[in-house]
Chains A and B, each alone.
Chain A
Amino acid sequence: MSTEALPQLKAKDFASDQDVRWCPGCGDYAILAQVKKVMPELGIPREKMVFVSGIGCSSRFPYYMNTYGFHSIHGRAPAVATGIKVANPELTVWVVTGDGDGLSIGGNHLIHAIRRNLDVNILLFNNRIYGLTKGQYSPTSELGKKTKSTPMGSVDNPIHPLSIAIGAEASFVARTIDRNVQHMAEVLRRAAAHRGTAFIEIYQNCNIFNDGAFFYASEKDQKHDTTLYLEHGKPMIFGEKKDKGIRLNGMEPEIVSLADGSMKEDDLLFHDEKSPEPSLAYLLSRMRYPEFPEPVGVLRSVDQPRFEIGIQDQVDQAIAKRGRGTLEDLLNAGDTWMIED
């Protein structure tokens, strides 16, 4: 390996020559900016990075990155990424998907990539709507959502990305918000450092078809009471004055007040992102607005065996044990016999 220092790259070095074509004001811009900002910090050369996507507004992402990129078909990005990573485990692979792409048409692949713990980073831009097809409700849209395809309101329960990821026992699960760019950058750094599947749900505003879907979590006047920023090893406290907390009552979380002194920090639930059991992370993923503040940050981060390494190890073991196969051996195996002249 070369010991030469890598040239110091900047965010703009990760921009491709293509014009970005999202609607003005779309939350996707903020995410692109943060990804471009964080990439140079990773010390990985651009040619070793691959961005893979499916179909949807978010899936245009790879075209805007000066890395290798594959804009695939609807829902299949995790599967494409699986092939890329297995073929060359040295590549750093980012999957960009949305709520429709990743959880409707591509739900199966998402779940299986996660349970295999493939070493990729999956960014799921959740805007709770179909943007590219102009505004139908999505699998994460709230019950009763009125859209072009549901004029009387949707009648299906939404799917919750974090619960799905944790249900599939993802080794790294986090949530961040397009409008909290510093937090997003930090979560991206954490995801990049994690070995195994890093699943990140990003609340993303679609200002055209679902404007304000997450304002409760992003806007100054509300966000303190509606979000719970997680810190490993710290008690779960939220509220503008840090005067509210989450406590476990039996198996259920409950909101308690720290204001009157009857509750102390030690009575609260402490976050443990490293717990080998996913139960706490799952419980957190089920804390939903408006009943609860929604957790933001890293819900889970544990070490688990990785898929592509497992595959490569078996190949290496087979070669170590039997020697690299030759054509001669390949062709002459099994029951053979000679026909003489």
Chain B
Amino acid sequence: MDKQEATTTTMATQTADKPIEELSDVTVRFAGDSGDGMQLTGGQFTRTSAIFGNDISTFPDFPAEIRAPAGSLAGVSGFQVHFSNCDVHTPGDMVDTLVVFNPAALKVNIGDVREGGIIIANDESFGKTDLRKAGYDQNPLEDGSITKQKVHRVPVSRLTREALKDSKLGTKQVERCKNFFALGLVSWLYGRPLEPTLQWIDQKFGKNPDVAEANRLVLKAGHAYGETCELFHSSYRVSKATLPPGKYRRISGNEAVSLGIIAASHQSGKDLFYGSYPITPASDILHHLSGYKHYGVKTFQAEDEIAAVTASLGASFAGDFAVTGTSGPGLALKAEAIGLGVMTELPLVIINVQRGGPSTGLPTKTEQADLLQAMYGRNGECPVAVLAASSPADCFYAAIEAGRIAMTHMTPVILLTDGYIANGEEPWAIPNPADLAKINVVHTTETNSNGNGEGDGFLPYKRDENLVRPWAIPGTPELQHRIGGLEKQDVTGNVNYEPANHEHMINTRARKIELIANDIPAQEVMGPEQGDLLVLGWGGTAGAIRSAVERVQQQGRSVAHAHIKYLNPFPRNLGQLLANYKKVLIPELNSGQLRLLIRAEYLVDAISLNKVQGKPFLISEIETKINQVLANE
């Protein structure tokens, strides 16, 4: 695997017992049954690394079934973390150390372990039945089939039992502690302190002192095992990353998006209404927000997706900052109501945490296949603003931006994230609240007719220079008005079926969205402003594209990266920018949706790199394609 070979400086420092090697970055993956606590183990290891001062990026990967049959391939749950002493943008292409709790986990994951990487296997869960469930005829740990990686067979379960021989816990509870053994062992392997995990155990299991004590003992036993046993000849260190100074926290995309919409509510002075129906992988937004009621947040777990969006529209009409969150299938159900939002010109943010489709598809896997649905998935000509977040932390800023555009342009805004950045975590340099811009929302309190024959009293569709109509809310005297989904006369808002008016309104609604382009920043580029190749991306692929482009740039090639946050309308300078490069490559986790839009809009013959496997891009996949495109000049 090239990453580590390229960047690792091996400084074998001899300590008392075992040598320590210094590495620049490491990728560890924990894998086991969905009941083995892999997400918790990975999460704790990540937390420790972040607090230690590494840069991190994570990739939790779990099955759609809560408890698939134990030991089956379908039930394998994994958590990957990439930690480093430098800036990293992805959870890592290849795995340096894989910890597996059963044969199924080995089978599913071994292909991702780099040559020369480490595999730590819980030896005791490789019995005949376990092997059969995973479809192995022979034990792969014994039959010599693993030649490219170093296998460490560790009797995790037995050692856990031994560590707890004096414990009051029952057999089942003892067995459940084994992930802490693995965590202790890997912590030793990479020189991670145990304190943060010990503290966390106290907090989490404080009410259950026997369990807390057992987990502490097993964690320490795992650590001691690494130190003393003969299996590991050396351990590794990844020192602190040189991140810009400041205060940091770990954040996932779903958490960041939640904080972002609360911040937008705060900056606009509007209470937040969040209507949602449970759906993977968006439910965490509902969970997070329901814990922020002291910010004036009202969460509504609706009876279905349609109620979630229509209630949000109702709340918007009544003057709240309204947001609804969902994933692809839910966006499909919300389509008609989003059209109502377009027709009634009410502010509304729709968060779509994309997942593998079509239909129910791959609920827990990532994909970027809802771009065209976001753009066009409604009846009639029905434009909305569309934004995409590019990383877990960027979800915060993208959510504020979605709220700002919705409320100041009186329109539904679809914010696209995806399962990969929603569940993945990275360190986030906490912004200073004073640096967040205010969102200026005005609720009209006066009638606005000028009496020149345009109608009397309050005119709900009389627009400003950006074609934005006034937001007058119920409770305001003298401004009673009716809105609805029927075509309306401009200015008065009265129901109107005249042909010319309909065309005028269609054009006006389209123009209104176009004018948002005056209110968004120009598209930025990483790299030369003109050259051989522009790699153009959107959404959660940012980290992989950026890393790939940086690598090729280091080889002296003329390659740049532009990542589009504003998908509708596009930034004003995008067309010119595309013209500055000989070729444009668009990597996407779909079959070419942005490419379709770019070709249609700018007549640019962009090249596609598509992957639709429910998995994010590897850096190497993009790098290979870039080199290929450059070679075909």
Chain A interface (Cβ < 8 Å from any Cβ of B): 16-18, 45-52, 55, 62-63, 65-73, 76, 79-88, 90-91, 108-109, 111-112, 311-312, 314-315, 317-319, 321-328, 330-341
B320: chain A residues at CB < 8 Å are: 83, 87
Stretch in B75-83, B118-126, B295-303 touching the partner: B295-303
Residue of B248, B293, B297, B436 touching A337 (CB-CB under 8 A): B248
Distance A336 CA – B251 CA, assembled complex (angstroms) = 10
Selected A-B contacts with CB under 8 Å, 15 pairs = A45-B477, A70-B314, A70-B484, A73-B337, A76-B306, A79-B314, A80-B313, A82-B307, A83-B317, A86-B298, A108-B304, A318-B293, A324-B295, A325-B294, A337-B247
Q: A72-B340, A112-B303, A337-B50 are in contact. Are A84 and B318 (CB under 8 A)?
A: yes
Interface centre among A45, A111, A336 (most CB of B within 10 A): A336
A66: chain B residues at CB < 8 Å are: 480
Q: Is the CB of A79 within 8 A of B302?
A: yes
Q: Is the CB of A330 within 8 A of B310?
A: no
Residue of A52, A88, A111, A338 touching B248 (CB-CB under 8 A): A338
Q: Is the CB of A62 within 8 A of B484?
A: yes
Q: Is the CB of B475 within 8 A of A48?
A: yes
Distance A336 CA – B249 CA, assembled complex (angstroms) = 4
Q: Is the CB of B248 within 8 A of A324?
A: no
Q: Is the CB of B477 within 8 A of A71?
A: no
Determine the residue in chain A with the shortest Cβ distance to B455: A17
Residue of B53, B251, B482 touching A71 (CB-CB under 8 A): B482
Q: Is the CB of B304 within 8 A of A68?
A: no
Interface centre among B275, B306, B311, B336 (most CB of A within 10 A): B311
A63: chain B residues at CB < 8 Å are: 482, 484, 495
Closest chain-B Cβ to A16's Cβ sits at a distance in Å of 7
Please provide the chain B residues from 475 to 496 with a CB less than 8 Å away from any CB of chain A in the complex: 475-486, 494-495
The 10 closest A-B pairs by CB, nearest first: A83-B314, A71-B484, A69-B482, A83-B311, A83-B315, A318-B293, A87-B318, A327-B433, A325-B295, A80-B314
Q: Is B266 an interface residue (CB 8 A)?
A: yes
B314: chain A residues at CB < 8 Å are: 52, 70, 72, 79-85, 87
- Chain B residue total in the interface (Cβ 8 A): 73
Distance A338 CA – B304 CA, assembled complex (angstroms) = 43
A111: chain B residues at CB < 8 Å are: 303
B404: chain A residues at CB < 8 Å are: none
Q: Is the CB of A88 within 8 A of B475?
A: yes
Additional A-B contacts beyond A68-B474, A88-B473, A334-B251 (11; CB < 8 A) = A18-B495, A70-B484, A72-B485, A76-B337, A86-B273, A91-B474, A112-B302, A315-B298, A319-B294, A335-B249, A336-B247
Distance A47 CA – B474 CA, assembled complex (angstroms) = 6
Closest chain-A Cβ to B59's Cβ sits at a distance in Å of 19
Closest chain-A Cβ to B428's Cβ sits at a distance in Å of 9
Determine the residue in chain A with the shortest Cβ distance to B51: A337
Q: Is the CB of B293 within 8 A of A314?
A: yes
Closest chain-A Cβ to B506's Cβ sits at a distance in Å of 19
Q: Is the CB of A327 within 8 A of B482?
A: no
Distance A311 CA – B302 CA, assembled complex (angstroms) = 13
A18: chain B residues at CB < 8 Å are: 482, 494-495
Chain A proximity mask over B306-329: 1 for CB below 8 Å, otherwise 0: 110011111111111010000000
Distance A86 CA – B337 CA, assembled complex (angstroms) = 19
B473: chain A residues at CB < 8 Å are: 88
Interface centre among B314, B317, B340, B456 (most CB of A within 10 A): B314
Distance A315 CA – B317 CA, assembled complex (angstroms) = 21
Closest chain-A Cβ to B399's Cβ sits at a distance in Å of 13
Q: Is B556 an interface residue (CB 8 A)?
A: no
Q: Is B246 an interface residue (CB 8 A)?
A: yes
Q: Is the CB of B476 within 8 A of A47?
A: yes
Determine the residue in chain B with the shortest Cβ distance to A331: B430
A334: chain B residues at CB < 8 Å are: 249-251
Determine the residue in chain A with the shortest Cβ distance to B318: A87
Residue of A47, A85, A339 touching B478 (CB-CB under 8 A): A47
Q: Is B453 an interface residue (CB 8 A)?
A: no
Q: A87-B319, A91-B475 are in contact. Are A328 and B433 (CB under 8 A)?
A: yes
B51: chain A residues at CB < 8 Å are: 335, 337
Residue of A65, A67, A109 touching B307 (CB-CB under 8 A): A109
Q: Is the CB of B322 within 8 A of A90?
A: no
Q: Is B292 an interface residue (CB 8 A)?
A: yes
Distance A332 CA – B251 CA, assembled complex (angstroms) = 11
Q: Is the CB of B485 within 8 A of A73?
A: yes
Residue of A81, A108, A330, A332 touching B247 (CB-CB under 8 A): A332
Q: Is the CB of B248 within 8 A of A72?
A: no
Closest chain-B Cβ to A14's Cβ sits at a distance in Å of 10
Determine the residue in chain B with the shortest Cβ distance to A48: B475
Closest chain-B Cβ to A271's Cβ sits at a distance in Å of 32
Q: Is the CB of A327 within 8 A of B248?
A: no
Distance A86 CA – B299 CA, assembled complex (angstroms) = 10
Q: Is the CB of A327 within 8 A of B436?
A: yes
B243: chain A residues at CB < 8 Å are: 339
Please provide the chain B residues from 142 to 161 with a CB less than 8 Å away from any CB of chain A in the complex: none
Distance A108 CA – B262 CA, assembled complex (angstroms) = 30
